[in-house]
Amino acid sequence: MSEEQKPVTNIKTPMRLEYRYSAGIATSRFLHGIAQGKILGQRCPICSKVYVPPRGSCPRCAVATEEEVELSDKGTITTYAIVRVPSENIDVPLPFASVHVLLDGADLPMFSVVQECPLEKIRMGMRVQAVWVPKEQLGPTLQSIRYFKPIDEPDVPADQLRETV
Amino acid sequence: MSETVSDEGGILTAPHVLEYPYRRSVGPVLGRFFTELRAGKIVGVRTQQGRVLAPPQEYDPETGAATSNDFVEVGPGGVVTTWSWVTRPRSKQPLAHPFAWALVKLDGADTAMLHAVDAGDITRMRTGMRVRPRWRAERVGHIHDIECFEPEP
């Protein structure tokens, strides 16, 4: 049977939405900070929790979070997953560790990736530090932080991480 | 700053495209509809009660019963039962100049089909007007095998 005579069994039904995404005030502040090699969070005036990246408001207290806090680029892994499935927008070689890093001074972990560490050594409580792009490549994008790598500091005990996991 | 990200008074914006390149399977009923479109014909299906649904459906929307296996050629021309003018077409719409979305009840069908009508000007649109399909030269088995409908002369 030629292609012409075979019955149609599927159709293309693509969906495409073109947005112009606005980062908003809090995220823009955060990204401008990243462009200067700084990691900025915001502290809630009521519960004092520090959120990074900042959202502009506290989800627990429902108030604006205006106080800016500069955080260290060192932190602790609170949880992680080993990724083995490829995806279009991942440019890190597989398999890699996708991690939640609780930066020193923050109350909310942020997503990143760990490199320069054998996968079997990755663990909750592991101390890590950000590896940035060279200074002249810094820009208002999270890609300015290439990944986190392990540092030589004692692990943080699990019970200290309980609230954040 | 890259050319895609812009900074307006400190607020950063960037284009963001959300795209799902779906390909969906079609069964015997819709498959037949698209196969016939590829051949330059429009078919509907008869319900148990004899009504002709075009485009065809697996189940009669009025009774919920499965439709018969009886496919019927409809059209090619038909009547506009309702329409809505598009003044500024978006990039993925059937036509690049203003046109009407319309429900077209093809000759022989008891239901109407959604498609575009290239009337040229809003003043040419009338509920009840007769239209006929403008077929693409190369058809693949898709609703876009009909580029649009146009007013019958």
What is the residue extent of each domain of chain B?
A: 22-151
Which of A86-95, A146-155, B11-20, B96-105 is least confident? A86-95
Task: Name every chain B residue with its beta carbon within 8 A of the beta carbon of A89.
Answer: none
- Chain A CB contacts of B23 under 8 Å are 10-13
pLDDT of res. A38: 97
Share of chain A above pLDDT 70, in %: 97
pLDDT at A76: 97
Q: What is residue B104's predicted lDDT score, i.e. its pLDDT?
A: 98
| Contact with chain A for residue B90, Cβ under 8 A | no
Q: Rounded CA gap, B148 and A90, in Å?
A: 40
Asked if B26 is an interface residue toward chain A (Cβ–Cβ < 8 A), one would say yes
Provide, as residue numbers in chain A, all residues whose Cβ is less than 8 Å from the Cβ of B12.
Answer: 22-23, 27-28, 31-32, 140
Q: Do A8 and B141 touch (CB under 8 A)?
A: yes
pLDDT over 70 at A3, yes or no? no
Give the DSSP letter string of B41-77.
-EEEEE-TTSPEESS--SB-TTT-PBP-S-EEEE-SS
User: Which carries the bigger pLDDT value, residue A113 or residue A159?
Assistant: A113
Place of tokens 């530090």: A129
pLDDT of residue B3: 53
Q: Which residues contact B73 (CB under 8 A, 6 or more apart)?
A: B36, B41, B42, B43, B108
The pLDDT tens digits for B18-76 are 999 999 999 999 999 999 999 999 999 999 999 999 999 999 999 999 998 999 999 99
Token code pair at residue B63: 């009774």
pLDDT at B134 over 50: yes
Cα of B142 to nearest chain A Cα, Å: 6
Question: Which residues, other chains included, contact A51 with Cβ-Cβ below 8 Å and sequence gap of 6+?
Answer: A41, A42, A43, A44, A58, A65, A106, A107, A108
Which pLDDT score is estimated for B8?
A: 84
Q: What is the pLDDT of residue A106?
A: 95
pLDDT range class, residue A158, cuts 50, 70, 90: confident
Interface test with B, best of A1, A8, A20, A22 (most B CBs within 10 A): A8
Of B11, B22, B141, the CB nearest to A28: B11
Which residue among A7, A12, A27 sits closest to B142, beta carbon to beta carbon? A12
A32-73 pLDDT per residue, tens = 999 999 999 999 999 999 999 999 999 999 999 999 999 999
A7 touches chain B (CB under 8 A): yes
- Give the per-residue pLDDT at B1: 45
pTM: 0.67
Residue matched to tokens 């955060």:
A30
Domain limits, chain A: 24-161
Q: How much is the mean pLDDT over chain B?
A: 95
Residue A91 has pLDDT above 90, yes or no: no
- Encode pLDDT of A101-111 as tens digits: 999 999 999 99
ipTM: 0.83
- Residue A93's pLDDT is 87
